Every structure is written in C-alpha cells, then in structure tokens.
C-alpha cells in the first residue's frame, strides 16, 4: 500500500512539476530515511551521517534555487510578478509525500524482516530452570540427582 501511494504521488508530482525539479525533490530521500529510522527504531544518526546529510542537503538547496531562478521568466519593470501556481505547490507536496511514503515502507520492511532476538543461554538463572523433586526427596534437574 505504501509503495502504491508513493508511486502515485511521484507520478502525479511529475505531471505538475518539471521533471528535473521533481527529481531534485526526490533526491532528499536520505533525509526522510534518517528521520524515520530515528523515529521508528530510536537509532540516532552518527555525526558522520549527519554531516554528510547536511552537505548533500546544502547542495540540493543550492541546485534548487539555481534551477528555480533559471526557469523563472524574465520580468519587465511594468510586468506583474508571477508566483508559483497551486499546481506547483501541490507537486512539491506530493513529491515530498512520496519520499515519506516510500522511505516509511523501507523502514517498516526492515523492522518486519529483522530476525527475532535469540535468547542468551548464558544469562539463565537458576529460577528459570525447572526443578524436579525425585522420589528420594532430593531436588534434581532433568532427572539427575543433585547433591545437597
């Protein structure tokens, strides 16, 4: 379901935005992955992961600003300023929602496919091992008499 919703959001954002700008927004997926892993799994990012994310995000923001400036038509002094249309805003929201849905699918799949923890036998205490009383009255474990 998450994959279907994410794919629909991606395709809809591609119809509302320039393909290059939509994929620029889709390149922010590592941010969503790190935030979701932190929220779902409780694992905070390391300093190196955080630094690399800041570096990549800064590059994406600079590229997005340059691309937006490049696609903005030149304005004459007497021409009215044109703002982004509602469709462009919807396209940005859908592209970001697509990132969220697809990365949530990845994080939940990782949670579901993680093998269950194996019990540590060395941590067993005497109270967890069943104690049997033999017919002689002395306690025994697994049928073997224990010295008292």
Written as six digits, the tokens of 10 are: 């991606």
Residue 35 CA, distance from chain mean position = 6
**Nearby residues of 3 by Cβ (< 8 Å), 6 or more positions away:** 101, 102, 105
CB-count exposure of residue 9 (10 Å: 0-12, 13-18, 19+): buried
- Give the phi and the psi of residue 133 in degrees, each rounded to 5: -100, 125
pLDDT tens per residue, range 52-109: 888 888 888 887 777 665 555 444 445 454 556 777 888 889 999 999 999 999 888 8
Strands 144-145, 132-133: pairing kind: unpaired
Nearest Cα to 39, choosing from 99, 107, 105, 102? 107
Please tell me whether the overall predicted TM-score, pTM, comes out greater than 0.75 for this model: no
Residue 95 to residue 93: CA distance in whole angstroms: 6
Half-sphere exposure of 51 (CA within 13 A, CB side): 3
Q: Name the pLDDT band for 120 (thresholds 50, 70, 90).
A: low
């Amino acid at each position: 379901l998450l994959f279907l919703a994410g794919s629909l959001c991606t395709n809809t954002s591609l119809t509302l935005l320039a393909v290059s700008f939509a994929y620029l927004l889709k390149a922010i997926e590592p941010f969503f992955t790190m935030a979701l892993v932190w929220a779902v799994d409780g694992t905070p990012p390391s300093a190196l992961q955080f630094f690399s994310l800041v570096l990549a995000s800064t590059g994406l923001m600079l590229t997005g600003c340059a691309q937006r400036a490049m696609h903005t038509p030149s304005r004459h002094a007497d021409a009215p300023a044109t703002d982004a249309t509602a469709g462009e805003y919807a396209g940005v929201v859908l592209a970001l929602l697509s990132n969220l849905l697809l990365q949530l699918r990845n994080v939940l799949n990782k949670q579901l496919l993680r093998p269950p923890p194996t019990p540590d036998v060395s941590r067993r205490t005497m109270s967890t091992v069943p104690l049997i009383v033999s017919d002689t009255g002395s306690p025994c474990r697994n049928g073997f008499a224990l010295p008292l």
